[in-house]
Amino acid sequence: MTTTLPAYLEAARARVDRALDRVLPSAPACPPVIAEAMRYSVFAGGKRLRPILTLAAADAVGLSATDEDNDLALPAACAIELIHTYSLIHDDLPAMDNDTLRRGRPTLHVVYGDGIAVLAGDGLHAEAFRLLAREPATEDPEIMRRKLRVTQTIGDAASAMGMVGGQAIDLQAAGRTLAPRITLDAEGLRQMHSRKTGALIRAAAASGAIMAGGSDDEVTRIDRYAAMLGLAFQIVDDILDVEGSAATLGKTTGKDAAEQKPTYVALFGLERSRQMANECAERARRELAAANLTSGWLAPIVDWVIGRKN
């Protein structure tokens, strides 16, 4: 059993990577170029925050949870990471943010071209739901009920009501659509990021709690915790875009300011943004305390998110 957060994160990351390697299709089941492109982005590195949250939430809904309970959450954890990776591939495209660096490597469209990048993202999105449908393989009515609830939870988060909708708002606010440009105030910015970033983080945590058999109250509290964690994560992201370096972050920095994109730093400044991130972190901790879920890894993950440098 791991006793420190870095050890837990490393073990969970390795577990997710092994599972992703197993579930991703390869030739001859699919054309080699798509298999290679999908793996290029999935295994480009990254924090694996979202799938780790899924596993940590599965652990948290009862410290008596068995390894089997946690295994039930692993397919959802992988599905979440596949969706997250697809969103990054599409986000980097010239029609979106036009980024050339992601996780310290050239972005997928730079290496494989725009068309294959679009198709690789589409493929990962579809693979996520294929995985949710088939794993864990069971005829247990209770587990099947949980799987259906998780599938809807993740589908809602990835939909036009969630992540896709948030990205659309982001593009319109940046003046990158044919629709009229919009100006976001503080509430508009919060709404955009609650969809673009927060929805999938919330789904990740809630899915782990659901698959491990958490009570309705536990699932609700973990969902609220993740909402605050997601907002803190985004605020820190905005701060790092100003203060970080491309070498440390593994992606282009300074683009938000250069393109006059709405960010927390642009609206509130660096100092207030730091305060807001810490306030969100404290609210996340309070949600865990209210459900008596402070003994697992979810609370230390808050500190990790707030203190991260990449």
Whole-number Cα distances in Å, 201 to 33, 102, 213, 251:
30, 20, 19, 20
Q: What is the pTM of this model?
A: 0.92
| Residue 34 · residue 108 · CB < 8 Å | no
pLDDT confidence band for 103 (50 / 70 / 90): confident
Q: How much helix, strand and coil, in percent to the nearest 5, is found in the chain?
A: 70, 0, 25
pLDDT the model gives residue 67? 58
Residues 55, 17: Cα–Cα separation, whole Å: 13
CA–CA dist 72, 66 (Å, integer): 10
Per residue in 164-208, pLDDT (tens digit) is 999 999 999 988 899 999 999 999 999 999 999 999 999 999 999
Question: Cα-Cα-Cα-Cα dihedral of 180, 251, 89, 187, to 10°?
Answer: -40
pLDDT at 64: 45
pLDDT at 234: 94
Parse the chain into domains and list their residue ranges.
Answer: 5-307
More confident residue, 249 or 38: 38
Domain 5-307 falls under CATH 1.10.600.10: yes
At 102, phi and psi to the nearest 5?
Answer: -145, 125
> Using one digit for the tens of pLDDT, what is the confidence trace for 48-96?
999 999 999 999 996 545 555 568 999 999 999 999 999 999 999 999 9
